[in-house]
Structure 1
Amino acid sequence: SNRIYDCASACVRVDDESDPILRDNDIHSGQGAGVCVQDNGLGTLERNEIRAHAGSGLVIVSGADPVVTGNAIHRNRLHGVQASSGGGGTLDRNDIFQNVLSGVFVDQEANPSVSRNTIRNGLGPGVTVTAEGRGRFDE
């Protein structure tokens, strides 16, 4: 596992159709998002701790479609997960808690699949879907 922290922007950025596996990492205390998946980026994020970022813990935008499973996403100053601008992704069995805004925020034609997550103890709504956001929320 890796410790990735104190970054000036996103601590991890996945873009341009890249498809990495990020597993068992501690990603924390960045000045932007913890992980930003954008521009048709893919990737598998599994069993990471994504915490204490100035932005959202995970941002999925611009056609990105990661698989996000079994992560702890917490204590971020914006959203736990933000899907926007046509982002997708599969969020399954994550623990999303104690974020300042929404646990999961979806807008601008984003269309994530969200299932079997625990979303709790945030200062804002657990889930927000607004401004032409879509998504599938089940189980």
Structure 2
Amino acid sequence: MTTLKAGDAAPEFSAKDQDGNTHTLSDYKGKKLVVFFYPKASTPGCTAEACNLRDNWETFQSQGYDILGVSADSAKRQTNFKAKNELPFPLLADEDKAVIEAFGVWGPKKFMGKEYDGIHRTTFVIDEEGKIKEVISKVKTKAHAEQIL
């Protein structure tokens, strides 16, 4: 789906999180960053994925990683998702899909025989220089931290 691959520069982005704070790629220069895109807050797969990352938060922190979750949900929905699951990382409310489209994870999907456009569950691991180290498109929602680390 996405045309981005390891070695490419990560797209510059700017989006607000659940609390209205703006996050940009340049905010994370000098840090390792995991950006995970998920279809919809509070759905079973997205909850399993976010909670798996939450449960491994200390490991990510000890290895110098920051984490950003991104979906097209509203800030209110992201706030509820974050609070309900005690997620320690920001969730970007990318309602205009600017970040989603910059990373190329929006496109045709199939579910129960129906075709529609949506977010492809994809994770990007970005190094301290803003280069993509890894693109994970076959996300294992219950074991995602292990895939990344």
TM-score, normalising length: structure 2: 0.20
Q: Which structure has the highest helix share of the two?
A: 2
Q: Which structure has the highest strand share of the two?
A: 1
TM-score, normalising length: structure 1: 0.21
